[in-house]
């Protein structure tokens, strides 16, 4: 979603703001802009445009911005108003002296706008964000910080804000409530950004701004205050991941790079979390006794993370016999879930900033549940609001379509399932050790599949012309079918549906003909024969089948036009393996169609509005 970068220091602001903003492209956006305070005359200057940052770079070749050491920049993902130049950020007040960039949604903007308009403030955009600039102006120009403070008290909704004013040309004000914002602390320079990846090449020292905090930032000082104006301690943390992690390193796309990182991600997780054959869930924040007392588990998540949650349900119930419900976060909140202090809510989120998941967690806590999050981004909002955190440590995921974060979430689900199985005494030591051994072998298995990627690419290209796809799976691979379909639609824009294969006869079969491709996830399993029956039904209706099958399964050749073989693994662990060909199919089809794989249209990496 929207990306924010701000700078105050001694360097030329515009090129720095643009290159940092480029690192936030992955969040998804449809217009962008930059605004600076001129070093020469102290005036504010702004350039903005619909489309990509490259458009802005091109625009600046003819409409240069003045030399400056202070500025803010923004990528906008349209919510209120189309992606036009006038709706792009930064937004100025009527005098043109105050400039703001905003991520989030101001829910009461219409009433604020009407009030400000009646006082003579002129609006030039359809956005909710513009009210913020006018509101700050309405509180006078003597004290920018106080004016911002008063403004924030009037806003209902969520925001991350960067603010500059030509009256205070050496300052940058930042604030957050519900939308992510970090401060990068440098030497004689400071930054704000929506996430660390934007400023990693300048500094690793980060202050994670908390909800309700306002920062007054100069080139040599960062002061953080709460909403009432009381100074609060600002903890500087040093992030450890390298710049390589946010670069493509020779891969044509971040998505392909991240697909290739999956064996490493999983292997790092397993070596950290499996000690002497025992699962170590440091960070979970609950004792084994407290975990045993949890009578039921509810998993909340969105998008790909929701599919990881669904796999979690299958394996936790099968291994540990604890009842698990899974909800998309946006539904959980409004369906009055039955929760009490004996419910464990597991929130799964790559970014830790997904607004619906955060709202679900707040709802769960208000109803007395314990909340453990499975999250990739250290220090994100979700991790701060949970009783315990299991970090996936998959490294920054830049491709909008989630891949390595999913595998890492799955890995954590297996570890959790094993942990529950052990503390509930539901598995023999032998079965635990066999699953642990199986898990440890998965990274090598994924590497083997990756070696076969040219063949998968060929199959994908040969099927790239199909106008629609159906993905079928059963049991633990039903969520894999959902994830395969999601990956394909996200980046190829081909209508794709995931179904439990048993449900095919209850609807999707009506769609099957020679124009429909069907991906059947058919590894060796207890439901293998049932999947074969489904494949026969598809073939009888001329559907084109791409099967994902276990090495050595020659029998499947009579049923499928294309087969992608994966090595044999424990039946319960197959989702960790089958997802890889599904990711590669989606990737190569999107590439064949000439799509922007890393930044698919209309999608945002981190959905920070409900
Ligand atoms: C967006 C992303 C998806 C992601 C979902 C949940 O829709 O495009 O890739 O799965 O949000 O995000 P989270 O950060 O909570 O895992």
For the segment 487-498, the average pLDDT, to the nearest whole number, is 97
Rounded CA-CA distance 127/87 in Å is 6
CB 543 within 8 A of CB 517: yes
**Residue 296, burial from CB neighbour count under 10 angstroms (0-12, 13-18, 19+):** middle
Active site residues: 2, 605
Tokens of 326: 């899974």
Task: Please write the tens of the pLDDT for every residue from 321-358.
Answer: 999 999 999 999 899 899 999 999 999 999 999 999 99
CA of 493 to the centre of ligand 1 (A): 17
CA 140 to chain centre: 39
Fold classification of 3-239 (topology level): 3.60.20
Cβ(402) to ligand 1 under 6 A? yes
Cβ(267) to ligand 1 under 6 A? no
Which atom from ligand 1 is nearest to the alpha carbon of 351?
Answer: 14
452-598 matches 3-239 in CATH topology: no
Taking the model in full, what pTM does it have?
0.84
Cβ(357) to ligand 1 under 6 A? yes
Which is the CATH superfamily of the domain at 246-450?
Glucose-6-phosphate isomerase like protein; domain 1 (3.40.50.10490)
Cβ(373) to ligand 1 under 6 A? no
Task: Please write the tens of the pLDDT for every residue from 79-104.
Answer: 889 999 999 999 999 999 999 999 99
Nearest-CA residue for ligand 1 atom 1 is: 605
Mutate which of 25, 606, 610 for ligand 1 pocket (most atoms within 8 A of beta carbon)? 606
Give the pLDDT band of residue 114 (cuts 50, 70, 90): very high
- Domain segments of the chain as ranges: 3-239, 246-450, 452-598
pLDDT of 244 strictly over 80: no
CA of 37 to the centre of ligand 1 (A): 35
- The answer to whether the Cα torsion of 7, 12, 14, 19 is positive or negative is negative
Q: Cα-flanking dihedrals φ and ψ of residue 403, to 5°?
A: -130, -70
Crossing angle of the two packed helices 575-592 and 453-462, in degrees rounded to 10: 50
Cβ(303) to ligand 1 under 6 A? yes
Cβ(329) to ligand 1 under 6 A? no
Count helices and strands in the chain by DSSP H and E runs: 18, 27
pLDDT of residue 438: 97
β-pair type (31-38, 68-76): antiparallel
Mutate which of 28, 413, 605, 609 for ligand 1 pocket (most atoms within 8 A of beta carbon)? 605
Which atom from ligand 1 is nearest to the alpha carbon of 490?
Answer: 8
- The CATH architecture assigned to 452-598 reads 3-Layer(aba) Sandwich (3.40)
Of 272-276, 299-303, 494-498, 591-595, the range with the lowest mean pLDDT is 272-276
β-pair type (157-165, 172-177): antiparallel
CA of 260 to the centre of ligand 1 (A): 19
């Amino acid at each position: 979603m929207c990306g924010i970068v701000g700078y105050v220091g001694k360097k030329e602001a515009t090129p720095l703001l643009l290159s940092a903003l480029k690192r936030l492209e992955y969040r998804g956006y449809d217009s962008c802009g930059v605004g600076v305070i001129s070093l020469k005359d102290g005036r504010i200057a702004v350039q903005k445009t619909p489309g990509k940052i490259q458009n802005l770079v091109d625009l600046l070749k003819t409409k240069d911005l003045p030399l400056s050491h202070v500025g803010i920049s923004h990528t906008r993902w349209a919510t209120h108003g189309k992606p036009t130049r006038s709706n792009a950020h930064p937004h100025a007040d009527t005098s043109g002296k105050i400039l703001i960039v905003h991520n989030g949604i101001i829910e009461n903007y219409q009433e604020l706008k009407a009030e400000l308009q009646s006082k003579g403030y002129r609006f030039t955009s359809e956005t909710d964000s513009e009210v913020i600039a006018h509101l700050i102006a309405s509180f006078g120009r003597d004290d920018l910080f106080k004016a911002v403070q008063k403004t924030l008290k009037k806003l209902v909704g969520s925001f991350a804000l960067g603010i500059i004013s030509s009256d205070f040309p050496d300052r940058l004000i930042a604030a957050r409530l519900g939308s992510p914002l970090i401060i990068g602390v440098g030497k004689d320079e400071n930054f704000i950004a929506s996430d660390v990846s934007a400023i990693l090449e300048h500094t690793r020292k980060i202050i994670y701004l908390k909800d309700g905090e306002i920062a007054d930032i100069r080139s040599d000082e960062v002061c953080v205050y709460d909403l009432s104006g009381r100074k609060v301690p600002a903890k500087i943390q040093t992030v450890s991941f390298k710049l390589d992690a946010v670069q493509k390193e020779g891969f044509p796309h971040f998505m392909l790079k991240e697909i290739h990182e999956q064996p490493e991600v999983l292997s790092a997780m397993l070596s950290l979390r499996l000690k002497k054959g025992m699962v170590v869930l440091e960070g979970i924040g609950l004792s084994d006794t407290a975990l045993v007392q949890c009578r039921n588990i509810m998993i909340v998540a969105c998008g790909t993370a929701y599919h990881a949650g669904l796999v979690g349900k299958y394996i936790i119930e099968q291994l540990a016999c604890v009842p698990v419900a899974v909800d998309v976060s946006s539904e959980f909140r409004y369906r009055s879930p039955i929760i009490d202090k004996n419910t464990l809510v597991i929130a799964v989120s790559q970014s830790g900033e997904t607004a619906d998941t955060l709202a679900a967690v707040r709802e769960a806590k208000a109803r007395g549940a314990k909340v453990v999050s499975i999250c990739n981004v250290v220090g994100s909002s979700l991790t701060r609001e949970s009783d315990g955190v299991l970090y996936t440590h998959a490294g920054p995921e830049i491709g909008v379509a989630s891949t390595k974060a999913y595998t890492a979430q799955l890995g954590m689900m297996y570890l959790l399932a094993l942990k529950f199985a052990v503390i509930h005494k539901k598995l023999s030591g032998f079965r635990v050790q066999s699953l642990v051994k199986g898990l440890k072998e998965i990274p090598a298995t994924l590497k083997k599949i990756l070696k076969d990627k040219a063949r998968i690419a060929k199959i994908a290209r040969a099927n790239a012309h199909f106008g629609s796809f159906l993905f079928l799976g059963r049991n633990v691979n039903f969520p894999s079918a959902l994830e395969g379909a999601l990956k394909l639609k996200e980046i190829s824009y081909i209508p794709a549906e995931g179904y439990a294969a048993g449900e095919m006869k209850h609807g999707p079969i009506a769609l099957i003909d020679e124009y429909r491709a069907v991906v059947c996830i058919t590894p060796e399993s207890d439901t293998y024969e049932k999947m074969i029956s489904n494949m026969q039904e598809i073939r009888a209706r001329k559907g084109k089948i791409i099967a994902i099958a276990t090495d050595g399964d020659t029998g499947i050749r009579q049923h499928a036009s294309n087969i992608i073989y994966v090595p044999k693994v424990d039946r319960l662990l197959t989702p960790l393996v089958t997802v890889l060909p599904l990711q590669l199919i989606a990737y190569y089809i999107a590439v064949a169609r000439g799509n922007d794989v890393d930044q698919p249209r209309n999608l945002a990496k981190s959905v920070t509005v409900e």
